[in-house]
Amino acid sequence: MKNFTLTLVFTPILLLASSDGYEVYKKNCSTCHIETISKNEFVKNISTMKAPPMIEVSNQLKNQIMIKNDDEDVHKKVVVLFIKNYIDNPNLEYSLCNPPAIERFGVMPSKKGKLNDEEKEAVAEWIYDRYEGVQFK
Ligand code: HEC
């Protein structure tokens, strides 16, 4: 019974502490990175786009960031770390974006100080998980 009470007391606190990645995306990223679109539609509407679609960003990072042992948990951690770092320090040198896209959109402006660590973690994990098995094509 005691345990039960503890769970009841602590659950709301845990819920408060973890940010919702999708909400973070909508608030901070969606004005530039559209959530999902086909390649065809993207090319047709490129004049209205401010950045690569998030589906492409996710696919690209997952394909280009490789780790030695094929462990999915480790891979996710590395991709998430890359995204968290990129939010604060976007940089031509680190960008895995293809050159024509960079030429078209420029380098992403830094969001340093705008998101706390939890929000960065949540949005980075969302970017990884949202497009599991979904290809930009
Ligand atoms: C003002 C527009 C803008 C906003 C807002 C924005 N981005 Fe970007 N982002 C860009 C552009 C432009 C690029 C492509 C050029 C580059 O790689 O820097 C990009 C690229 C990226 C990349 C790919 C880097 C790579 O190497 O392929 C990641 C990851 C990324 N953004 C994450 C985010 C996240 C997460 C947010 C929200 C917290 C966000 N962006 C908000 C404009 C934006």
Instruction: Report pLDDT digits (tens) over 49-67.
Output: 999 999 999 999 999 999 9
Using one digit for the tens of pLDDT, what is the confidence trace for 2-23? 555 555 555 555 555 568 999 9
Residue nearest to atom 43 of ligand 1 (CA): 108
Please tell me if the CB atom of residue 106 comes closer than 6 angstroms to any atom of ligand 1.
Answer: yes
pLDDT at residue 120, rounded to an integer: 98
8 A C-beta contact, residue 118 and residue 19: yes
Q: Exposed (0-12), middle (13-18) or buried (19+): which is 104, by Cβ within 10 Å?
A: middle
Quick check: 88 pLDDT over 80? Answer: yes
Shortest-distance Cα residue to atom 16 of ligand 1: 107
Identify the residue whose C-alpha is closest to ligand 1 atom 23. Answer: 57
pLDDT band at 80 (very low <50, low <70, confident <90, very high): very high
What's the rounded Cα separation, in Å, for the pair 132 and 58?
9
